[in-house]
A and B are shown apart, each in its own frame.
Chain A
Amino acid sequence: MTLSVLRRYGTRRAVLAGFLPLLVLAVAGCSSSRGASVSIDPNIFLNAIIHPDGPIINGLYLTIFVSIIAQLIGVTLGIFAALGKMAKFPLFRIIANLYIWFFRGTPLLVQLAFLFYGIQSAHLLAWPTIELFGFTVTQEVLAGTIILGVNEGAYMAEIVRAGILSIDPGQNEAAKSLGMNYAQTMRRIVLPQAARVIMPPLGNEFNNMLKNTSLLMVLGTYELYNTFASKAGLAYQWFEFMGACCVWYLILTTIWGFAQAWIERRFSKGTTSSSGGPSWRDRIFGGRRSDAGEEIAVLGGH
């Protein structure tokens, strides 16, 4: 009988159909067994969105600032790592491969702890606090941004490499036959064309980056998540504050979705399909899960 149900509705639907009622029962059971009624204060939730206070605004700025700088570092490193991976000299290839292997093969959270706390506790390096354009960048923010960027570079390397490989070899030959050297060919001919191929996955990467900045809370920075987490912990209003936190992240990623659609249209000049990348709807509701999801859940439980 089970088998026929599976065959008829498909495994996923059957599992969902069985699982959802169980979940509802479990939640209901929990609340009733403790004898407490549901307690949600909508004002706290709405205030954190409509009238964000100083710390929230600062957290928002920090998240945006860190994301952009880290992504820029990631793209730059990614280009060099991609070129290194395709280089003639074996040494460049080895360095690029080791870099990609390590940063893609270990969790971002562990990298943050290792390269911040680890390096400092072993007295290998003391991350400095610096002044940048009149802002004080604390050592935690500096380290966090750089580590996020270096991690991102390893992912960008593969994306950039795919972009470069997608360009017709005839482009390279045409540039060479005009006397252009490797650097000129890459900078003027190949990379600008590869950029169009790179943009859609780069957009996904930045979407992930906006969310992955929340991991910086292990360094004690007050970016968006940590700001809300501390408020939630103090007031024991996790539902309201985390709900508002979600809304803020959604605002950021949604704005980015529009920005990306616009950028992709600009990059599609000189190509046959003027419509450019996917629709805004796909851009915003599509995308992939943050691989930091589980790690944060564990941390939040402490």
Chain B
Amino acid sequence: MTTPVQISHDLLGAIGGVPRPEGDVVVDARDVNKYFGRLHVLKDVCLQVRRQETVVIIGPSGSGKTTFIRCVNHLEKIQSGRIFVNGHLIGYRESGDGKKLVEDKEKNIARQRQEIGMVFQRFNLFPHMTALENIIEAPIQVRGVDHDEAVAVGRALLERVGLAAKEKAYPNQLSGGQQQRIAIARALAMKPALMLFDEPTSALDPEMIGEVLEVMKELAREGMTMIVVSHEMGFAREVANRVVMMDEGTVVEEGTPDQVFSHPTQERTKTFLSKIL
């Protein structure tokens, strides 16, 4: 389990290349507001993510960072604002006068989610399926990919995340780090244009964090567009194009890793960093 993971320099090659090369805006969140009952958890959050960019969101627990990325693929409803992914309004359509949001049809939401991969803190692998079955499930069921082709892509992805030998293993036979790597492969199998990582290493034993981060770094280097909620400052420094600091439902500060970590301008960022660094 502690053996270093050999990952070839072609994680995206396994699924047929980098999605759309241009450098335009992939995620465009404008004035997003979200309430849990009376609790105002996202307050006018604005965030743009450009193609092939890796954005790491940091912040204390309860700051709304996880809630925010769950809004990006509409696992959470929003009460006002707009989130666009590749120019498409996510989860809603605008009513006639363009002022009100009406929740979109399930079919349309499902189609939008195909373009957005998500990796969860607790992996959420399907326990009744083997590693390979987990990966090929959505391409076959959702995209209608031919079984043999899906298996070929699935095997290539397994090899890329260093788990070719675990093809037939069920999730409960795998370590946390292995499960999370399978979960990343599962999301990639849909050839998403954007990957969301919700604290992907928070549920892992320390010795397994490295292998998962390694896969994510590889992915970032190959040009995947990524939003990562994480406390892994080393990872953020190394691969993030931008770091976003959130607190109490607002974006407090954003900038390059060096700006945010070494020269934070906001008092809130300084106190937070002093606690975790």
* A-B contacts, CB under 8 A, total: 73
Chain B nearest CB, measured from A35 CB (Å):
68
Asked if A2 is an interface residue, CB under 8 A from chain B, the answer is: no
Q: Are B141 and A184 in contact (CB under 8 A)?
A: yes
Bound-complex Cα distance A177 to B138 (A): 10
Number of A positions contacting B (CB below 8 A): 23
Bound-complex Cα distance A270 to B130 (A): 8
Residue from A175, A179, A196 in contact with B114 in the complex, judged by beta carbons closer than 8 Å? A179
Bound-complex Cα distance A48 to B125 (A): 54
Q: Are B142 and A174 in contact (CB under 8 A)?
A: no
Q: Are B75 and A178 in contact (CB under 8 A)?
A: no
Per-position 1/0 for B151-180, Cβ under 8 A of A: 000000000000000000011100000000
Residue from A176, A182, A188 in contact with B137 in the complex, judged by beta carbons closer than 8 Å? A188
Q: Which residue of chain A is the closest to B128 with respect to CB atoms? A: A270
Bound-complex Cα distance A265 to B113 (A): 36
Q: Which residue of chain A is the closest to B141 with respect to CB atoms? A: A184
Bound-complex Cα distance A63 to B242 (A): 70
Residue from B120, B124, B142 in contact with A180 in the complex, judged by beta carbons closer than 8 Å? B142
Bound-complex Cα distance A192 to B120 (A): 21
Supposing A179-B190, A181-B106, A270-B170 touch, asked if A193 and B127 sit within 8 A by C-beta, the answer is: yes
Chain A nearest CB, measured from B250 CB (Å):
25
Q: Are B120 and A179 in contact (CB under 8 A)?
A: no
Q: Are B120 and A174 in contact (CB under 8 A)?
A: yes
Supposing A179-B138, A270-B172 touch, asked if A170 and B110 sit within 8 A by C-beta, the answer is: no
Q: Are A181 and B124 in contact (CB under 8 A)?
A: no
Asked if B73 is an interface residue, CB under 8 A from chain A, the answer is: yes
Q: Are A176 and B75 in contact (CB under 8 A)?
A: yes
Number of B positions contacting A (CB below 8 A): 31
Q: Which of B187-204 contact A (CB under 8 A)?
A: 187, 190
Bound-complex Cα distance A179 to B141 (A): 9
Q: What residues of chain A lie closer than 8 Å to B183, measured between beta carbons?
A: 174
Q: Are B111 and A193 in contact (CB under 8 A)?
A: no
Asked if B150 is an interface residue, CB under 8 A from chain A, the answer is: no
Q: Are A177 and B106 in contact (CB under 8 A)?
A: no
Q: Which residue of chain B is the closest to A189 with respect to CB atoms? A: B126
Chain A nearest CB, measured from B127 CB (Å):
5
Q: What residues of chain A lie closer than 8 Å to B126, measured between beta carbons?
A: 171, 174-175, 189, 193
Chain A nearest CB, measured from B94 CB (Å):
22
Asked if A168 is an interface residue, CB under 8 A from chain B, the answer is: yes
Supposing A171-B126, A174-B126, A270-B172 touch, asked if A179 and B137 sit within 8 A by C-beta, the answer is: no
Q: Which of A130-186 contact B (CB under 8 A)?
A: 168, 170-171, 173-182, 184
Q: Are A177 and B137 in contact (CB under 8 A)?
A: no
Asked if A271 is an interface residue, CB under 8 A from chain B, the answer is: yes
Supposing A173-B120, A178-B187, A188-B137 touch, asked if A272 and B172 sit within 8 A by C-beta, the answer is: yes
Q: Are A174 and B124 in contact (CB under 8 A)?
A: yes
Q: Which of A228-275 contact B (CB under 8 A)?
A: 269-272
Q: Which residue of chain A is the closest to B126 with respect to CB atoms? A: A189
Chain B nearest CB, measured from A199 CB (Å):
13
- Give A residues with C-beta under 8 Å from B: 168, 170-171, 173-182, 184, 188-189, 192-193, 196, 269-272
